[in-house]
Structure 1
Amino acid sequence: MPKPSASPTAGSEPAVRNPNVIVAVLAFAGIVVSLMQTLVIPIVPELPKLLDAPASDTAWAVTATLLAAAVATPIAGRLGDMYGKRRVLLISLVTLTAGSAVVALSESLTPMIIGRLLQGLSAGVIPLGLSIMRDELPADRLGSGTALMSASLGIGAALGLPIAAFVADNFDWHMLFWASAVMGALGFLAVLTLVPESSVRSGGRFDLLGGVGLAAGLVSVLLAISKGGDWGWGSGTVLGLFAAAVVVFVAWGFFELRTRQPLVDLRTTVRPQVLFANLSALVFGFSLFAVQLIVPQLLQLPEQTGYGLGEDLLTVGLVLAPQGLIVMFAAPLSAKISQARGPKTTLMIGALIVAAGYGLNIVLMSEIWQLILVSCIIGAGIGFAYGALPLLIMGGVPVNETAAANAFNTLLRSIGTSVASAASGVILAQMTTDFGGHALPSENSFKVIMAIGCGAALIALLLASFLPRRTAAALGGDGATETTTVGSGAAH
């Protein structure tokens, strides 16, 4: 494997190296990217009228972003390791800004989908930010910095909904995306002027065939998952996509194991610390999305059902907003526990809290305050878990593979979220009750999803228990190699 380059990037580095500034800027960039994924939610039901297109076609405004993000995340991570994490992060923010502007200028479906594709290409910002932190932060700031950066996904998702709902209710819907473009531009300028470029590079040649193979496999499986409910889970198209994904991934795995410079180092991913951290990320991705699906529907269903609360979308956003704040406040506490007891312990605590939250949700779902309480409990658990996962990953891989490894972990979270969406959709569609001649999700359907969310968290707890007893955490330890030293000294 090529040795990491140690030569700084001449003439392009900012003078500022304040760890607090680096953390704040990178976390802001992460929140901007996660906000982008939430902004479209309030206007999805209105898109057919706004774009003069069938609902089956306007659904691609969401699907296109999902697919683009899945493909871009691992590729951006690998390119960051090879050519510079800050450089690729800046390119990602450019695509976010450009995509937002395209959507803001759109009046029809095609430019909307193109813009949403460009926005999805920015999904690598969070794993790239985590990797920059590993290279640039001193050991005593790394845990809290990475916890906040990792939690920015949950923070943006929770805070974005009330903001987007308010804007959509009071202004032209294009303002949502002009705001996204402005925030993307601010994030770009902040990173450009305040975040240094890491000198830790893996070098080598990009695995183009591996990138194409991974993209083909991901598009096949995620397209089948996201559109299975519309096309029919037993349809030839969906079954064909799943079969194609299996064939492509098997062939891709054999190729990656035989190439000298793979897109994803599969030998590293089977190390116990990395393997069980990745499996936990997959399950936690499911747990994160389940609550964000349950709470809005319970709040918006008619009160006459006996379990719906009859609220509007703005109220939904305000109920979920505290979850984002709890995730943010949990991040530094997560870092302290990881430093004192190790990230394995933090991850297990997070899994227990999430399981408890879903367990309470089964019996506490009839009042707004109950849903706020439950979402905050689950948010605390997510904050703990998301703070521990990058430390486990960074402690198990060489420093010059950090971005690719974090990107793969982030990708698995996204796949877990997609599976949660599909599984929940099936349950809500199958377990219904008649209301005025219309089939609505039954109360038991929500309780089943809550039970599955609780079970998923307990599975994550079980997976975390298999992590090595003395896990290498990137908190001043040597990580996966004897030559890796965390902090600014490693990068300069």
Structure 2
Amino acid sequence: MATTTGLEPESRTQRPTALIITILIFAAIVSSFEATMMYTALPGIMEQFQATPSSAGWILTGFLLVGAASAAIAGRLGDAFGRRNVLIVLLLASVVGSVVSIASDSLGGLIAGRSIQGLAGGLVPLCVGILRENLPRKNLPVAIATVAGAAMWGGAAGNIVAGNIYDAWGWHYIFVVSLVLALVTAVAAFLLPPATVRTGLEKVDWLGGILFVPGIALAMYGINESHDWGWGSGKTWAFILGGLVVLAAWVAWELRTDKPLLNVRIFTNRKVGLTLIATMLVSVGTLGMSGYVGQLIFQMPTIAPVGLGVSAGHAGDLSFAIGLIGFALSPLSGRISRGGRARNAFMIGCALGLAAAVLSALLLDTVVGFVISQIVLTGATGFMLSSLPNLIVESVGEENTSEVSGFYMVTQNAFAAVGTSLGTMILTHNLVPETPFSTRHGYNLLFIVVSVVAVLALAVASFIKRGTEDEVGEATRAEFEADAVAIVPEPI
């Protein structure tokens, strides 16, 4: 096992680049496929176990909560103990989760299996770190964009593949597919370059991890349950505020410890902070609201003010095909991002997101027209999701890549959930009287909000510093060291 004491940017693996990228594409697909694979099976599971929607919803919520914690912590553990090592552990944990789910004959057992599977939420930050550690700089932006695009496509594949498997053989066989996919990827991961273990990180701040996990879980649970409880519910805010209090205690602890599990001081860096703000904005709008409402418009009946009457199966097929376009555009985003220009690719994504919102509002009445708007939306999503990890890579040193990428993933998922909930609230407050259908005005209002948020994201992106990886890295390290000196409290 290789050991290093700092950055070694010119030290690169002799493994073929194509092999590394291919293995990591499969790892990203495992994560995103498992995140979405149970959506289509949920109604049938509710019927089989005579479960309420809130009880069965834990099949999804358990995965999301564990996935959020894994995304943040796994990246840091990978930076400390070797990214390949932790990647393999998470893939094997996913296999265990699938086995538990397959063997389950109760709702509780299924929820437990899905929660174990949620550890796969930490795979993508590790993938970004492995790419940066092993690929030449000239290939890195395209490789990161391609892996991020594969994750987006894997999420779309989860719905359609799992839906067809469920119709043919039942929900148990969805886990058979996820088991095989994770196991094959875990075996292939041993072909990745030997893990780099960094010295100086042997003392892991486990207390920081213990505080962080319930904090993010409580806040995420409140956000996700706001779909059912509503934003005016005391329960919603009790969980969210409770989580924020725990997270505040966690931040205070991390600022006082010498070797924090998650180094919050790095977020005082200007470029990191602006990148996360931009992530919040597009996650609420383009990734949250727009992503949620597309399937709704496809499948709503034609008797509704807005609805195209497409069957669930055909809507899934359309989403899958459109997702392929987004995956195909990801390498283009990577090429634009070369030389410290990821900001440019992100701004293109914001502009496409704005265009998609306008087109969606104008082309609601025909399947062909709305498909055109969704193709533009997928292009926006592809550019955003592939450029944001590259912005992280430009912003931090190699030793912090997976750690900060994990925070980015948590931010994206949390604010996408907020966006979905806000979109639901807008449509619910604009129903046709005595019907479950939202008015045209409600949909227009939703797309106006998405447009405004896209413009705000463009404005934030305009302040993100451009520059080559070397220039940005040196500036970031100097700024981080200065911030660390300023923030660390004096001993009493």
Fold match, TM over 0.5?
yes
Number of the residue aligned with 1:425:
424
Q: For 1:237, which of 235, 238, 244 is the aligned residue? A: 235
How far has the Cα of 1:146 moved from its partner? 0.7
Q: For residues 413-492 of structure 1, what are the structure 2 equivalents within 5 Å?
A: 413-434=412-433, 438-468=435-465, 470-473=466-469, 480-481=476-477
Number of the residue aligned with 1:95:
93
Question: How many angstroms apart in 1 are the aligned matches of 2:376 and 2:389?
Answer: 21
Number of the residue aligned with 2:483:
none
Number of the residue aligned with 1:179:
177
**Is 1:249 the equivalent of 2:247?**
yes
Deviation digits for residues 144-188 of structure 1 (CA, Å, limit 9, x no counterpart): 111112223311122222222222223322211111111111111
Number of the residue aligned with 1:386:
385
Is the CA contact 1:322–1:372 (under 8 Å) kept in the aligned structure 2?
A: no
Change (3 A) 1:232 1:139: closer
Letter in 2 for 1:18: P
Is the CA contact 1:96–1:184 (under 8 Å) kept in the aligned structure 2?
A: yes
Deviation digits for residues 8-33 of structure 1 (CA, Å, limit 9, x no counterpart): 9xxxxxx9700111011101110121
How far has the Cα of 1:131 moved from its partner? 0.2
Question: How many angstroms apart in 1 are the aligned matches of 2:171 and 2:388?
Answer: 36
How far has the Cα of 1:127 moved from its partner? 0.6
Number of the residue aligned with 1:490:
none
How far has the Cα of 1:202 moved from its partner? 5.5
Question: How many angstroms apart in 1 are the aligned matches of 2:382 and 2:471?
Answer: 18
Question: How many angstroms apart in 2 are the aligned matches of 1:441 and 1:202?
Answer: 57
**Is 1:296 the equivalent of 2:292?**
no
Is the CA contact 1:162–1:321 (under 8 Å) kept in the aligned structure 2?
A: yes
Change (3 A) 1:123 1:44: same
How far has the Cα of 1:278 moved from its partner? 1.4
How far has the Cα of 1:69 moved from its partner? 0.8
Q: For residues 177-256 of structure 1, what are the structure 2 equivalents within 5 Å?
A: 177-200=175-198, 203-256=201-254
Change (3 A) 1:260 1:372: same
How far has the Cα of 1:77 moved from its partner? 0.8
Question: How many angstroms apart in 1 are the aligned matches of 2:427 and 2:105?
Answer: 33
Change (3 A) 1:132 1:479: farther
Letter in 1 for 2:446: I
Number of the residue aligned with 1:68:
66
Q: For 1:106, which of 104, 107, 117 is the aligned residue? A: 104
Is the CA contact 1:104–1:178 (under 8 Å) kept in the aligned structure 2?
A: yes
Q: For 1:140, which of 138, 156, 180 is the aligned residue? A: 138
Is the CA contact 2:305–2:437 (under 8 Å) kept in the aligned structure 1?
A: no
Is the CA contact 1:162–1:315 (under 8 Å) kept in the aligned structure 2?
A: no
How far has the Cα of 1:461 moved from its partner? 1.0
Change (3 A) 1:455 1:202: farther
How far has the Cα of 1:221 moved from its partner? 1.3
How far has the Cα of 1:195 moved from its partner? 4.5
Q: For 1:126, which of 124, 130, 145 is the aligned residue? A: 124
Number of the residue aligned with 1:486:
none
How far has the Cα of 1:4 moved from its partner? 4.4
Residue 306 of structure 2 aligns to a residue whose secondary structure is coil
Change (3 A) 1:311 1:107: farther
Is the CA contact 2:93–2:119 (under 8 Å) kept in the aligned structure 1?
A: yes
Question: How many angstroms apart in 2 are the aligned matches of 1:210 and 1:344?
Answer: 32
Change (3 A) 1:182 1:476: farther
Number of the residue aligned with 1:39:
37
Is the CA contact 2:282–2:457 (under 8 Å) kept in the aligned structure 1?
A: yes
Question: How many angstroms apart in 2 are the aligned matches of 1:4 and 1:194?
Answer: 17
**Is 1:51 the equivalent of 2:49?**
yes
Residue 436 of structure 2 aligns to a residue whose secondary structure is strand
Deviation digits for residues 76-114 of structure 1 (CA, Å, limit 9, x no counterpart): 011101111011111111121221222233232101110
Is the CA contact 1:344–1:471 (under 8 Å) kept in the aligned structure 2?
A: no
Is the CA contact 1:70–1:218 (under 8 Å) kept in the aligned structure 2?
A: yes
Question: How many angstroms apart in 1 are the aligned matches of 2:436 and 2:6?
Answer: 62
How far has the Cα of 1:230 moved from its partner? 2.5
Letter in 2 for 1:471: G
Residue 437 of structure 2 aligns to a residue whose secondary structure is strand
How far has the Cα of 1:244 moved from its partner? 1.6
Question: How many angstroms apart in 1 are the aligned matches of 2:183 and 2:370?
Answer: 35
Question: How many angstroms apart in 2 are the aligned matches of 1:202 and 1:321?
Answer: 45
Question: How many angstroms apart in 2 are the aligned matches of 1:217 and 1:447?
Answer: 36
Letter in 2 for 1:158: A
How far has the Cα of 1:371 moved from its partner? 2.7
Change (3 A) 1:115 1:444: farther
Aligned CA-pair RMSD: 2.4
Deviation digits for residues 306-358 of structure 1 (CA, Å, limit 9, x no counterpart): 43122221111111113321222122111211126711111111111111111
TM-score by length of structure 1 reads 0.90
Change (3 A) 1:395 1:6: closer
Change (3 A) 1:102 1:236: same
Deviation digits for residues 27-46 of structure 1 (CA, Å, limit 9, x no counterpart): 11101210111111112223
Question: How many angstroms apart in 2 are the aligned matches of 1:183 and 1:69?
Answer: 18
Is the CA contact 2:305–2:439 (under 8 Å) kept in the aligned structure 1?
A: no
Is the CA contact 1:134–1:474 (under 8 Å) kept in the aligned structure 2?
A: no
TM-score by length of structure 2 reads 0.90
Structure 1 segments of 4+ aligned residues over 4 angstroms from their partners: 199-202, 474-479
Task: List alignment gaps of at least 5 residues for structure 1.
Answer: 9-14, 483-492
Number of the residue aligned with 2:334:
335
Question: How many angstroms apart in 2 are the aligned matches of 1:201 and 1:410?
Answer: 26
Is the CA contact 1:132–1:198 (under 8 Å) kept in the aligned structure 2?
A: no
Residue 274 of structure 2 aligns to a residue whose secondary structure is helix
Deviation digits for residues 397-416 of structure 1 (CA, Å, limit 9, x no counterpart): 22211110111111111111
Question: How many angstroms apart in 1 are the aligned matches of 2:199 and 2:281?
Answer: 31
Is the CA contact 1:334–1:388 (under 8 Å) kept in the aligned structure 2?
A: yes
Q: For residues 139-158 of structure 1, what are the structure 2 equivalents within 5 Å?
A: 139-158=137-156
How far has the Cα of 1:421 moved from its partner? 2.0
Q: Which shifted more, 166-175 or 408-417?
A: 166-175
Is the CA contact 1:276–1:464 (under 8 Å) kept in the aligned structure 2?
A: yes
Change (3 A) 1:40 1:362: same
Change (3 A) 1:108 1:433: farther
Is the CA contact 2:397–2:473 (under 8 Å) kept in the aligned structure 1?
A: no
Is the CA contact 2:288–2:418 (under 8 Å) kept in the aligned structure 1?
A: no
